[in-house]
Amino acid sequence: MSIQHVPENLPKRIQHFIGGEFVDSLDGDTFEVLDPVSNQTYLEASAGKQADIDRAVAVAHQAFEEGPWPGMLPRERARILNRIADIVETRNERLAELETFDTGLPITQALGQAKRAAENFRFFADLIVAQADDTYKVPGKQINYVNRKPKGVAGLITPWNTPFMLESWKLAPALASGCTVVLKPAEFTPLSAGLWPEIFREAGVPDGVFNIVHGYGEQAGDALVKHENVRLISFTGESATGSLIFANAAPTLKGLSMELGGKSPAVVFADADLDAAIDSTVFGVFSLNGERCTAGSRILVERGVYDEFVRRYVERAKNIKVGDPHDPATEIGALVHPEHYAKVTEYIEIGKTEATLAAGGGRPAGSESGNYVQPTVFVDVPPTARIFQEEIFGPVVAITPFDTDEEALRLANDVKYGLAAYVWTTNLERAHNFGQRVDAGMVWLNSHNVRDLRTPFGGVKASGLGHEGGYRSLDFYSDQQAMHISLAPAHTPKFGA
């Protein structure tokens, strides 16, 4: 685990990208970026502040007011978006090695992120070309139609897990809608965002339409949220940060899309296909290092199969290969940052006082450095436990037995979050009835998180507000102006006549 793979041609530093140029912060300030295997600083990134955000928003605002982008025919914009998708796919290997180096994601899971990012651009390119807006007839009196227009400058604030792919999830609909953007990537993982400028330039995105300001959330992110010329914020991150952004956006009345944290249940009934349920629930929490918003991190198992499920699950967890993120055999790499490592391992210590530790429980043998954590399984976890209630965002799972459907539902809904849920049963009626009653924005029956880009994406309760996905994303980035046309004189009361 001590061998450190460093990608060739790493940039010397990471700068903002504003108006088609790479620039330093106006005050020259930088912050250090670590890699999660050595935990050493491998480069400095520009630390954006209010002045840098002002500069980027001014450029984006000008590109919106004067530039061709918002007024282009959908087909023209779609062509550019499709070119972006094609170019993104050609960067798959480079993206994977950068992402693996910067985030600690296993290389086999980082490969393929470019395809997912490209799909986001292709999907929204198709959608804007096929877009039809509503028209309403009032026979003999009026025709009313919707004039859809891009909102303006969009502020995009993204987290450190699968950073490039999550950036694409916001960039694609924002640009497809005709908005101009300022992206503030996560400070833990700014490396892969550096691929966008060249991709966009090559695809023909005009300068000023796409801008990046790096920096800390409390500085660059905060200034973006509070800027009066930013019409909306699409945010993905922790629920607590989401609440703060909500409050900070209030004085400038911004549109807000909030994709927040989760503590999603996977509910396994005794009639489930246990082989498939075990494969899926192991993958559902331990893939992406467990740093996954939709992780099924609470597994509720019906008593009749509980012992067998736990025995087999624990066996599998103990077999998972933790190690060098660049090794193709690795299934769990290094957690993103020592601060996050400290948080996850603290939860593991808390868990040891709250439930029975059945697998893992700390650093794997032989790893003296790097943010490595064993896949950790707690069983017989009471719903009052903090490891049942709070998002850990690492390779840690809580397993709890239940006796009846009602009890399973109570347990599933007994947390503040409501992002995803997974239901395992071969009983069709139960699958639908139970799934529909779970407090979750997204439910998968007999599956883990397999996305259909047309469906709503987002959470309920503390997991988010405002669902994106399909046309919902375009609606978020657009104003829908109502245009009313009279076909006959309107009745007008004659005041003062």
Helix (H, G, I), strand (E, B) or coil at 41: strand
CB of 460 to ligand NAD, least distance (A): 11
* Beta strand pairing call for 298-302 and 265-268: parallel
Distance of CA 397 to the CA centre of its chain: 20
Q: In the structure encoding, which two tokens stand for residue 111, read together?
A: 């490969």
**CA atoms in the 13 A half-sphere facing the CB of 75:** 0
**CA atoms in the 13 A half-sphere facing the CB of 428:** 0
Which single residue brings its beta carbon nearest to ligand NAD? Answer: 217
CB of 427 to ligand NAD, least distance (A): 29
CB of 449 to ligand NAD, least distance (A): 10
Helix (H, G, I), strand (E, B) or coil at 128: helix
DSSP code of 134?
-
d(CA 444, CA 122): 24
Shorter beta-carbon distance to ligand NAD: residue 53 or 379 = 53
Shorter beta-carbon distance to ligand NAD: residue 36 or 261 = 261
Cα distances (Å, whole numbers) of residue 16 to 157, 166, 182, 190: 14, 19, 10, 10
CB of 17 to ligand NAD, least distance (A): 16
d(CA 165, CA 26): 29
Shorter beta-carbon distance to ligand NAD: residue 225 or 415 = 225
CB of 419 to ligand NAD, least distance (A): 6
Shorter beta-carbon distance to ligand NAD: residue 238 or 479 = 238
Shorter beta-carbon distance to ligand NAD: residue 401 or 466 = 466
Catalytic pick among 97, 99, 167, 259: 259
Q: In the structure encoding, which two tokens stand for residue 495, read together?
A: 């005041």
Shorter beta-carbon distance to ligand NAD: residue 236 or 374 = 236
208 torsion bin: left (phi>0), alpha (psi -120 to 50), beta (else): left
Count CB atoms within 10 A of the CB of residue 479.
Answer: 15
Shorter beta-carbon distance to ligand NAD: residue 118 or 165 = 165
CB of 288 to ligand NAD, least distance (A): 10
Angle between helical axes of 74-90 and 113-130 (0-180°, round to 10)? 170
Count CB atoms within 10 A of the CB of residue 312.
Answer: 16
Shorter beta-carbon distance to ligand NAD: residue 178 or 466 = 466
Q: In the structure encoding, which two tokens stand for residue 17, read together?
A: 């990208």
Shorter beta-carbon distance to ligand NAD: residue 22 or 246 = 246
Cβ-contact 459, 259 below 8 angstroms: yes
Residues that bind ligand NAD (CB under 6 A): 157-161, 166, 184, 186-187, 216-218, 221-222, 225, 236-238, 241, 244-245, 259-262, 293, 391, 393, 419, 459, 464
Q: Which residues, in sequence order, are CB contacts of 136 under 8 Å at separation 6+?
A: 142, 143, 144, 145
Length of the chain: 497
CB of 305 to ligand NAD, least distance (A): 29
Q: Where are the beta strands (DSSP E) in 165-321?
A: 180-184, 210-212, 230-236, 255-259, 265-268, 298-302
Q: Number of H helices and number of E strands within the chain?
A: 16, 21
Q: In the structure encoding, which two tokens stand for residue 313, read together?
A: 């699950």
CB of 19 to ligand NAD, least distance (A): 22
Helix (H) or strand (E) holding 397: strand 396-402
Can 32 be counted among the known catalytic residues?
no
CB of 390 to ligand NAD, least distance (A): 10
Please list the active-site residues.
259
